[in-house]
Amino acid sequence: MLTSITEGILCCLTGKAASLVLPLESSEPSDGFEFVEVKPGRVLRVRHIIPERQPVVTEEQLAGKEKTDSDYNDDSCPEDLNNESNTGSSVHCKRKITVYRNGQLVIENLGDVLHSEILQCQDGDLEPCSTVEVELADYKEMPSSPDPNPISPPGPSPLGEQKPAPPPRRRRRKPKRTVLIDSKRVISSCKGTHSDVALFFVHGVGGSLDIWSSQLDFFSRLGYEVIAPDLAGHGASTAPQIAAAYTFYALAEDLRAIFKRYARKRNILIGHSYGVSFCTFLAHEYPDLVHKVVMINGGGPTALEPSLCSIFQLPSCVLHCLSPCLAWSFLKAGFARQGAKEKQLLKQGNAFNVSPFVLRAMMSGQYWPEGDEVYHAELTVPILLVHGMCDKFVPMDEDQRMAEILLFAFLKVIEEGSHMVMMECPDTVNTLLHEFFLWEPDMSKKDSSKTDTEKTVALSDTLHTLKINKPMDK
Active site residue 419: yes
Active site residue 391: yes
DSSP conformational letter for 120: G
Q: How many CA atoms lie within 13 A of 358 on its CB side?
A: 24
DSSP conformational letter for 83: G
Angstrom distance (rounded) from CA 295 to CA 385? 5
- Catalytic, out of 116, 220, 273, 323: 273
Q: Is 252 helix (H, G, I), strand (E, B) or coil?
A: helix
Yes or no: say if 315 and 379 are a contact pair by the CB < 8 Å rule. Answer: no
- Catalytic, out of 210, 230, 391, 399: 391
Per DSSP, which regions of 204-244 are E strands?
225-229
Distance of CA 384 to the CA centre of its chain: 8
Yes or no: say if 108 and 464 are a contact pair by the CB < 8 Å rule. Answer: no
Active site residue 273: yes
Angstrom distance (rounded) from CA 452 to CA 472? 36
Yes or no: say if 46 and 33 are a contact pair by the CB < 8 Å rule. Answer: yes
Distance of CA 184 to the CA centre of its chain: 22
DSSP conformational letter for 153: P
If one counts every other C-beta atom within 10 angstroms of the C-beta of residue 80, the result is 17
Angstrom distance (rounded) from CA 203 to CA 223? 22
List, by residue number, the catalytic residues. 273, 391, 419
